[in-house]
Amino acid sequence: MSDSSPLPPVRLKSEAELARDALTAPLLSRAARLARWAGPDTRVGAGGDLVEEQLPQAAGELGLTGDDAAAYASEAWRVAVDTGLVEIVDEEEGTVTAGAELALLTGGAPQDVLQAWLGALETVLADASVPDLDDLVDAMDEGGSVDFSQLDWDPEAEAEFLDGVLGNLYLLTVGEEGLGESMVPLPALAASMIVPDDMGEPTDDVLEQVSDAMMRLDDQFRLLEPVGLVEFQPVDEALMADGEEEGEGEGDRDGDDRGGEPAPVDETDVSRYGMVRLTPLGLYGLRARLLEAGIDAPAVGDLSDKGADALLDGTSGFPPAAAQAETEQWLARREPLDAARELLAAARGTDPGAPLRRLRCQQALSLVGAVAEPALREVLDDAELGGLARVWLAERGAADVPAPPEAMVFWLTVDTVAAQLAAEGNSTELQALVEGLAAQHSGFFAAAWRVDHPATADVLEAMGRLHPDKKVAKEARKAAFKARSAQGG
């Protein structure tokens, strides 16, 4: 994920809600239980790992059974040590005691809980970049040391790959209007890291790389789900079995020894290949990591204590739903009439960003009630704000709204198109607006080039690009030339 492009704002749950989610995340919950269980007889080895003979007891404390019980207990213990829930008293003796962070986990502020959870997340992310245990065993020499050259494993590259995948998942989530409710297929995430943007049809080699990456992500997300980062639907085991059986004879695949038919499999069901989405806690965690890396990752509410100028400029690149949510939080902290006056004052200007500020101002004022009417009447004679003030008053059925002079109508038209250009570029909606303006006013271009607005020439040039009628487009370009000449350009 590039750190040069602005990220959309993320809508986060409150810290109290996130802290509750963190406390119920299976891995942190297990780590806390082991920290309370640890006593004078608990022993650790090198690196703080629980000694092997105590792992069954730890697993029993957690209610874990089965072949993986000891491994899960070991992971929970490692998180307890890494997050300070357990502290090593004497490294030589291998003794431990409850850490200071354990009390904060239950008696501290939500931020204390979230800090502990972020520590657990870092531990799991580091584990997720480590090769599979079977691969480590295969690469181990007779002396018990691992020959990393046999693993084809680059720790830095593995960490960067996982960071990139999580970054793309974050972008997909914050870019949605539904708070990231959709599950993302693993093949799509893998392809986002491997398939070049300019590649048309992926080659067989690229598809094989995507398949390998998908399986690697399946392993990694299985590790990341217990910490509460993601909700995850693993790759269908039947799908993996299908791949393992490709070399077997048809008779082996047609049925079992009793002559039964195999269960039908839908090869087009993308969910079989694994699905994932970030949890609200996961969104919080990834944003924290982005901020730690120096990447600007805004959150809705960041501007609520800033001035109106910061609100209008800051929301200029937000998706509509996020812009409205940010504005609602900003308005909630202010008296409506004072807020309206502050917004109108911040909307003035002749700089390139001013038209979009005025559009955001108009959208913000639509959320303010009738109590703001005096603020709008105060700017009726303002050359820059009088047009939008009339629109606001007319939409609410206000009485005694003076008709705008023709110069104000044309100025507001140019300002509106300039704002739409800044917000959406050459969109379908803007093209429809351009066509409508040209159709409604037969002499539009003859008058528009004289409008005293800094963006007049740019707007007319855009209209010339966007209008499908060649004759009308030519008129727009001629008008743009006149406007630029009049402005001394």
pLDDT at position 151, please?
56
Name the nearest CA neighbour of 360 among 408, 384, 327. 327
Three-state secondary-structure class, residue 190: helix
What are the start-end ranges of the H helices in 83-130?
Answer: 100-107, 110-128
- Mean pLDDT over 159-165 rounds to 91
Element (H, E) at 248: none
Cβ–Cβ < 8 Å for 315, 25 = no
Q: What percent of the chain clears pLDDT 70, i.e. is strictly above it?
A: 87
pLDDT at 132: 59
Task: Single out the residue of 271, 124, 127, 126 nearest to residue 187, CA to CA.
Answer: 271
Phi and psi based region of residue 48 (left: phi greater than 0; alpha: psi -120 to 50; beta: remaining): left
Instruction: Identify the band that residue 241 occupies on the pLDDT scale cut at 50, 70 and 90.
Output: low
- Residue 153: predicted pLDDT: 61
**In the predicted structure, residue 23 carries a pLDDT above the cut 70:** yes
Per-residue pLDDT of 91-144, as tens digits, reads: 889 999 999 999 999 899 999 999 999 999 999 999 988 765 555 445 455 655
In this structure, are residues 168 and 190 in contact, taking their beta carbons and an 8 Å threshold? no
Would you tell me how many other CB atoms lie within 10 Å of the CB of residue 300? Answer: 23
| pLDDT of 31 | 97
Cα angle 453-459-462, degrees, rounded to a multiple of 5 = 170
Q: Quick check: 275 and 217 in contact, CB under 8 A?
A: no
Q: What is the pLDDT of residue 304?
A: 95
pLDDT per position as a tens digit, 318-357: 888 889 999 999 999 999 999 999 999 999 999 999 999 9
CA distance 425 to 138: 56
Picking from 296, 186, 167, the residue whose alpha carbon sits closest to that of residue 233 is 186
> Kind and range of the H or E element at 390?
helix 386-395
User: How far apart are alpha carbons 121 and 117 in whole angstroms?
Assistant: 6
- Unique residue bearing structure tokens 């919080």: 284
Helix (H, G, I), strand (E, B), or coil: what is residue 231? strand
Token pair listed for 259 = 């002559």
Specify the DSSP element, H or E, that contains 449: none
C-beta separation of 272 from 242 below 8 A = no
**Per-residue pLDDT tens over the stretch 424-477:** 887 888 888 888 888 887 788 899 999 999 999 999 999 999 898 899 999 999
SS3 90: strand
Residue 255 has pLDDT above 70, yes or no: no
